[in-house]
């Protein structure tokens, strides 16, 4: 699964990408094309490199760092040119310029990284010989044309052109034949370096991506995760960067939470506005960030590698497909159940399933869902307002109103009993008092309203 | 020619034709030929596609652009491959045009080239900045007003305007129409505070009250006959991010509180108002200012229209010069 296919997941992945200060459009394209990592070794390797870049960002003075960042802005996507080279095509002036430009950039970046002992971290192939081929006069300039020194005949023709501009058109025709000969020769020489040039291009994009990730970690206060060995996941001080920023904009503070779960289903209950959905969003976001090698928004994080991530958030009406919100949700959850029968190591986060139907059937659907998924090799987190029998599931509850202030932290409880705070919260929201007090009367009269 | 020296006082120049065949390309050739390429680094480009060998609209012969040895130029990939000179590539931009990316190169021999530069205003500004990085002293932009181009020549510091019989075949009309454009080019800059405030607003209309608070001018009002909004008696300035048209000025004029308002537009190319209405608005105490402005250095005329009609060059130059109080040149004649 590529990053670009999940970037619009409602968990807020796009926000993280938008905040990532990549220097080149090519690096962004590479990142979006990246496949999700599903092997612990790959993820570890990626974080090992990111560790070194984070250290580099901390240890390097701003002048050096901005020189490097500025250089990376010049990185261009020349994959078509490289492909032509690989296929023995003859490159034109513009393509040869692109190759030279990249080679000089690769050598420069390699040198800058080497000054900080980073040459081993990202393998940028040596392209000095490519530069030599495209810079016959040793001018060390990032410009290119078919230099006079490639061909004595061409040199003579050109000096004739400068002396007799009126003969230009005739002489240019002769010159273009000679230039073509030079380009064929250059392309032949460069063909041997095509693989190295491609590697250098991708390595430079990697440098851009790792630097951006390292800078983002610093700016947002993200942490390096530990890869879990026992299938459990643990966060301390977990936060959602987008929600945190939105709150900060109106002068409010985000309350980070601690949470852990393992391969047993986890049921999260809690009052309305208690942040249950935000918790699920953050957990989904973190899992993606982890498997695409980003910093994690928490003070400490242990994560388990998953093969598939499902995030079912209830309000996905699909008008185009003609599905009601209930039908759309059922289909999404159905996909989780089907996957759980064939696949291993799943993560499913389901926000208030069956909430749009009547409470009797809804509660039954949720309880049954817990039973159906209990045996699967997966981590399941599910939020609900329904009173259901938790069975083997672990129960977490949002603390809720505490002296008139919402406390978002999660506490472990031993039953699935749901808090009955909806009316208090509605009252606090200044909702029509007649409506609310009538509802209270109805409950007090013990009518069968639930 | 005196204006050649004046051009060198600025870091950018645009050459703008009021109509096709008003001699813009002649003017560009004239300027390029006289640039001191040995002592200054000079780069030339065109907004959008230009430099066709035959004019695509009127089918008249168009002169190709000859670049002197040592001059930098930007054109599209397609046209770069057709160049008829030896040149050294300096830069390939990320920006794609219908003819490929924009490339910048230095002419190593004198020769002909087809110019087709950045197609958008942001692309043009980016290119000008890139030229600064490459150490270019002066950028020359072959601009166009009559073409559908979103790149405005007003981003350059200085400007030469080309007008002629192709714009109008009657001397008096031509003088009046040109003088009006000159008046628009010479509109004063809005003060710096307003330039900073409005510069970031890409669309919509906005108004400033006496305390300098920015409010959107709701688009709903644009359907009504006049402009009415709360706090209008305290409105000092209106900013129109898009085009300023007759209808808008009329609505403003219909409103007693707004007769003396200052209307700010991005640059003179955004104004599409008839001269009479524009002057009435100014006469009643209204003001029009711009965020970007070029210094108009000279006006050139081409007395020959593509249909073959020829105006008297001396009378045209004299009358126009009197009307706009600027030197006017017939470059083909001189």
Q: Average pLDDT, stretch A144-166? A: 91
Residue B271, pLDDT above cutoff 50: yes
Highest mean pLDDT (candidates A219-228, B109-118, B142-151): A219-228
> Which residues in chain B are closer than 8 Å to A98, comparing Cβ atoms?
92
Q: What is the pLDDT of residue A358?
A: 86
Residues B252 and B149 reside in one and the same domain: no
How far is C-alpha A155 from the chain's CA centre?
A: 53
From A143, A165, A172, residue closest to B90, measured CB to CB: A143
> Which residues in chain A are closer than 8 Å to B106, comparing Cβ atoms?
143
Is the pLDDT higher at A136 or at B235? A136
CB B272 within 8 A of CB B244: yes
Q: Average pLDDT, stretch A50-75? A: 93
Sequence ranges of the domains in chain A: 3-212, 222-419
- Residue range(s) defining the domain that contains residue B55: 2-186+293-329
Sign of CA dihedral A245, A247, A251, A252: negative
Q: Average pLDDT, stretch B248-262? A: 86
Q: What is the pLDDT of residue B200?
A: 85
The residue in chain B having the minimum alpha-carbon distance to the alpha carbon of residue A93 is B89
Q: Average pLDDT, stretch A21-37? A: 96
Q: What is the pLDDT of residue B50?
A: 45
Q: CA–CA separation, A85 vs A90, rounded Å?
A: 7
Compute how many other C-beta atoms are within 10 angstroms of the C-beta atom of residue A409.
17
Residues B201 and B304 reside in one and the same domain: no
The residue in chain A having the minimum alpha-carbon distance to the alpha carbon of residue B100 is A94
Q: Average pLDDT, stretch B81-91? A: 91
Structure tokens at A225: 């995760």
Per mean pLDDT, which range of A21-25, A30-34, B122-126 is the poorest?
Answer: B122-126
Q: CA–CA separation, A2 vs A244, rounded Å?
A: 27
Q: Cβ of B88 and A175 within 8 Å?
A: no
Q: Average pLDDT, stretch A5-31? A: 94
Q: Cβ of A168 and B84 within 8 Å?
A: yes
Residue A125, pLDDT above cutoff 50: yes
- The alpha-carbon gap from A310 to the nearest alpha carbon of chain B, in Å, equals 37
The set of residues, in sequence order, having a beta carbon less than 8 Å from that of A152 and lying 6+ positions away, is: none
Highest mean pLDDT (candidates A43-57, A315-329, B113-127): A43-57
Mean pLDDT of chain A, nearest integer: 90
Residue B148, pLDDT above cutoff 50: no
Residue A449, pLDDT above cutoff 60: no
Longest C-alpha distance within chain A, in Å?
A: 108
Residues B34 and B61 reside in one and the same domain: yes
Q: Cβ of B103 and A143 within 8 Å?
A: no
- The alpha-carbon gap from A211 to the nearest alpha carbon of chain B, in Å, equals 22
pLDDT tens sequence across A171-211: 888 899 999 999 999 999 999 999 999 999 999 999 999 99
Residues B144 and B221 reside in one and the same domain: no
The interface predicted TM-score (ipTM) is 0.77
Residues B25 and B174 reside in one and the same domain: yes
Q: Cβ of A92 and B103 within 8 Å?
A: no
Q: CA–CA separation, A235 vs A215, rounded Å?
A: 22
The residue in chain B having the minimum alpha-carbon distance to the alpha carbon of residue A76 is B94
**DSSP label at residue B244:** E
Residues B139 and B21 reside in one and the same domain: yes
Residue A146, pLDDT above cutoff 60: yes
Q: What percent of chain B lies above the pLDDT cut of 90?
A: 37
Residue B61, pLDDT above cutoff 50: no
Torsion of CA A199, A202, A206, A209, to 10 degrees: 170
pLDDT tens sequence across B320-332: 999 999 889 988 7
From B86, B94, B106, residue closest to A25, measured CB to CB: B94
Q: What is the pLDDT of residue B175?
A: 93
Bridge partners for B300 per DSSP: B162, B329
Task: State the pLDDT confidence band at B234, using cuts at 50, 70 and 90.
Answer: confident
Q: What is the pLDDT of residue A422?
A: 83
Q: What is the pLDDT of residue A216?
A: 97
Q: What are the angstrom distances between the C-alpha of B102 and each of A25, A278, B130, B295?
A: 17, 46, 12, 27
Q: Is residue B159 part of a domain?
A: yes
CATH code, domain with B16: 3.40.50
Residue A52, pLDDT above cutoff 60: yes
From A98, A144, A145, residue closest to B86, measured CB to CB: A145
Strands (E), A384-433: 394-402, 405-413
Cβ burial of B4 (10 Å; 0-12, 13-18, 19+) is: middle
Residues B318 and B179 reside in one and the same domain: yes
Q: Average pLDDT, stretch B289-311? A: 89
- The alpha-carbon gap from B89 to the nearest alpha carbon of chain A, in Å, equals 5
Is the pLDDT higher at B157 or at B144? B157
Residues B274 and B302 reside in one and the same domain: no
Residues B65 and B139 reside in one and the same domain: yes
Q: What is the pLDDT of residue A356?
A: 81
- The alpha-carbon gap from B191 to the nearest alpha carbon of chain A, in Å, equals 31
Q: Is B114 helix (H, G, I), strand (E, B) or coil?
A: coil
Q: Average pLDDT, stretch B287-293? A: 92
Residue A237, pLDDT above cutoff 70: yes
User: What are B's interface residues with A at a Cβ cutoff of 8 A?
Assistant: 69, 77, 80-81, 84-90, 92, 94, 103, 105-106, 108-111
Per mean pLDDT, which range of A357-366, A398-407, B147-156, B217-226 is the poorest?
Answer: B217-226
Q: Is residue B224 part of a domain?
A: yes
Radius of gyration of chain A measured on its C-alpha atoms: 30
Q: Cβ of A161 and B109 within 8 Å?
A: yes
Residues B47 and B148 reside in one and the same domain: yes
- The alpha-carbon gap from B93 to the nearest alpha carbon of chain A, in Å, equals 9
Tell me the residue length of chain A: 450
Q: What is the pLDDT of residue B275?
A: 93
pLDDT tens sequence across B164-194: 888 888 889 999 999 999 999 999 999 999 9
pLDDT tens sequence across A251-298: 999 999 999 999 989 999 887 778 888 999 999 999 999 999 999 999
Residue A328, pLDDT above cutoff 90: no
The residue in chain B having the minimum alpha-carbon distance to the alpha carbon of residue A161 is B109
Q: CA–CA separation, A168 vs A160, rounded Å?
A: 9
Q: What is the pLDDT of residue B1?
A: 60
Q: Cβ of A161 and B84 within 8 Å?
A: no
For A222-419, give the CATH class: alpha beta
Per mean pLDDT, which range of A35-44, A417-426, B89-98 is the poorest?
Answer: A417-426
Q: What is the pLDDT of residue B57?
A: 53
Q: CA–CA separation, A295 vs B320, rounded Å?
A: 67
Task: State the pLDDT confidence band at A316, using cuts at 50, 70 and 90.
Answer: low
> Which residues in chain B are closer than 8 Å to A158, comparing Cβ atoms?
86, 108-109
Question: What domain count does chain B have?
Answer: 2
Q: Cβ of A94 and B109 within 8 Å?
A: no
The residue of B79, B84, B86, B111 whose CB has the most chain A CBs within 10 angstroms, and thus the best one to mutate to test that interface, is: B86
Q: Cβ of A92 and B110 within 8 Å?
A: no
Q: Cβ of B86 and A161 within 8 Å?
A: yes
Task: State the pLDDT confidence band at A37, using cuts at 50, 70 and 90.
Answer: very high
Phi-psi region of B231 (alpha: psi -120 to 50; beta: other; left: phi over 0): left
Radius of gyration of chain B measured on its C-alpha atoms: 21
Q: Cβ of A97 and B111 within 8 Å?
A: no
Q: What is the pLDDT of residue A338?
A: 93
Residues B143 and B39 reside in one and the same domain: yes
> Which residues in chain B are closer than 8 Å to A25, comparing Cβ atoms?
94
Bridge partners for A35 per DSSP: A2
Q: What is the pLDDT of residue A446?
A: 63
Residues B250 and B310 reside in one and the same domain: no
CATH number of the domain at A3-212, please?
1.10.1420.10
Q: Where are the alpha helices (DSSP H) in A221-346?
A: 241-249, 276-291, 325-342
From A145, A165, A175, residue closest to B88, measured CB to CB: A145
Q: Average pLDDT, stretch A99-119? A: 94
Q: What is the pLDDT of residue B4?
A: 87
Q: Is residue B334 part of a domain?
A: no
Task: State the pLDDT confidence band at B306, using cuts at 50, 70 and 90.
Answer: confident
From A25, A94, A168, residue closest to B77, measured CB to CB: A94
Q: Is residue B196 part of a domain?
A: yes
> Which residues in chain B are closer than 8 Å to A170, comparing Cβ atoms?
none
Q: CA–CA separation, B278 vs B286, rounded Å?
A: 9
Q: What is the pLDDT of residue B53?
A: 47
- The alpha-carbon gap from B173 to the nearest alpha carbon of chain A, in Å, equals 42
Per mean pLDDT, which range of A90-99, A115-124, B52-61 is the poorest?
Answer: B52-61
- The alpha-carbon gap from B88 to the nearest alpha carbon of chain A, in Å, equals 5
Task: State the pLDDT confidence band at B308, using cuts at 50, 70 and 90.
Answer: confident
């Amino acid at each position: 699964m590529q990053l670009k296919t999940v970037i619009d997941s409602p968990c807020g992945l796009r926000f993280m990408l938008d905040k990532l200060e990549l220097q080149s459009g090519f690096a962004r394209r590479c990142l979006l094309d990246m496949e999700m990592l599903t092997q612990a070794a790959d993820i570890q390797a990626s974080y090992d490199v990111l560790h070194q870049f984070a250290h580099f960002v901390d240890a390097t003075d701003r002048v050096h760092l901005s020189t490097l960042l500025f250089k990376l802005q010049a990185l261009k996507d020349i994959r078509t040119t490289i492909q032509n080279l690989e296929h023995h095509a003859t490159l034109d002036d513009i393509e040869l310029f692109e190759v030279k430009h990249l080679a000089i950039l690769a050598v420069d970046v390699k040198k800058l990284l080497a000054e900080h002992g980073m040459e081993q971290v990202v393998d940028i192939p040596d392209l000095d010989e490519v530069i030599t081929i495209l810079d016959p006069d040793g001018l060390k300039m990032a410009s290119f044309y078919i230099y006079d020194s490639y061909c004595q005949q061409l040199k003579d023709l050109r000096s004739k052109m400068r002396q007799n501009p009126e003969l230009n058109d005739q002489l240019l025709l002769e010159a273009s034949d000679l230039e073509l000969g030079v380009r064929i020769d250059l392309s032949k020489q460069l063909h041997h370096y095509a693989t190295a040039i491609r590697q250098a291009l991708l390595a430079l994009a990697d440098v851009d991506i790792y630097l951006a990730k390292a800078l983002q970690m610093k700016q947002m206060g993200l942490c390096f995760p530990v890869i879990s060995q026992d299938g459990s996941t643990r966060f301390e001080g977990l936060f959602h960067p987008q929600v945190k920023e939105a709150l900060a904009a109106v002068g409010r503070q985000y309350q980070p939470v601690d949470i852990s779960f393992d391969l047993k289903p986890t049921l999260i209950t809690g009052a309305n506005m208690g942040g249950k959905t935000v918790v699920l969003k953050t957990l989904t976001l973190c899992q993606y960030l982890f498997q695409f090698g980003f910093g994690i928004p928490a003070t400490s994080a242990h994560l388990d590698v998953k093969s598939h991530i499902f995030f079912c958030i209830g309000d996905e009406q699909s008008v185009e497909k003609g599905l009601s919100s209930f039908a759309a949700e059922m289909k999404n959850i159905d996909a989780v159940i089907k996957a759980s029968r064939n696949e291993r190591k799943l993560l499913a986060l389901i926000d208030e399933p069956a909430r749009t139907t009547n409470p009797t059937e809804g509660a039954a659907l949720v309880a049954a869902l817990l039973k159906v998924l209990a045996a699967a090799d997966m981590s399941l987190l599910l939020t609900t307002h329904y009173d259901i029998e938790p069975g083997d599931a672990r129960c977490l509850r949002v603390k809720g109103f505490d002296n008139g202030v919402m406390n978002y932290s999660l506490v472990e409880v031993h039953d699935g009993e749901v808090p009955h705070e909806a009316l208090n919260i509605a009252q606090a929201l200044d909702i029509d008092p007649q409506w609310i007090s009538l509802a209270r009367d109805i409950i007090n009269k013990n009518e069968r309203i639930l | 020619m005196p204006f050649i020296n004046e051009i060198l006082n600025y870091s950018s120049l645009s050459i703008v034709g009021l109509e096709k065949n008003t001699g813009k390309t002649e003017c560009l050739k004239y300027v390029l030929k006289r640039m001191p390429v040995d002592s200054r680094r000079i780069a030339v480009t065109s907004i959008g596609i230009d430099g066709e060998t035959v004019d695509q609209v009127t089918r008249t012969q168009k002169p190709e652009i000859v670049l002197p040895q040592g001059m930098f130029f930007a054109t599209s990939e397609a046209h770069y491959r057709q160049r008829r000179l030896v040149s050294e590539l300096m830069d390939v931009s990320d920006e794609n045009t219908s003819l490929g990316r924009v490339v910048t190169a230095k002419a190593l021999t004198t020769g002909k080239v087809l110019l087709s530069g950045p197609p958008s205003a942001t692309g043009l500004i980016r290119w000008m900045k890139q030229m600064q990085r490459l150490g270019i002293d002066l950028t020359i932009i072959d601009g166009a007003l009559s073409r559908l181009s979103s790149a405005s020549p007003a981003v350059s510091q200085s400007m030469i305007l080309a007008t002629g019989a192709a714009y109008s075949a009657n001397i008096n009309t031509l003088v009046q129409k040109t003088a009006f454009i000159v008046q628009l080019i010479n509109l004063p800059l809005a003060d710096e505070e307003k330039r900073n405030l409005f510069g970031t607003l890409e669309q919509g209309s906005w108004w400033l009250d006496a305390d300098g608070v920015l409010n959107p001018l709701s688009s709903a009002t644009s359907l009504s006959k006049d402009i009415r909004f709360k706090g209008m008696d305290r409105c000092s300035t209106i900013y129109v991010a898009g085009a300023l048209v007759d209808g808008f000025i009329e609505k403003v004029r219909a409103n007693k509180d707004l007769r003396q308002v200052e209307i700010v537009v991005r640059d003179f190319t955004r104004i599409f108002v008839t001269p009479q209405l524009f002057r009435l608005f100014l006469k009643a105490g209204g003001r029009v200012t711009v965020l970007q402005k070029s210094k108009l250095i000279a006006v050139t005329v081409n007395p020959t229209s593509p249909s073959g009609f020829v105006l008297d060059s001396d009378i045209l130059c004299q009358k126009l010069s009197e009307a706009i109080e600027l030197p006017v040149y017939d470059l083909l004649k001189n």
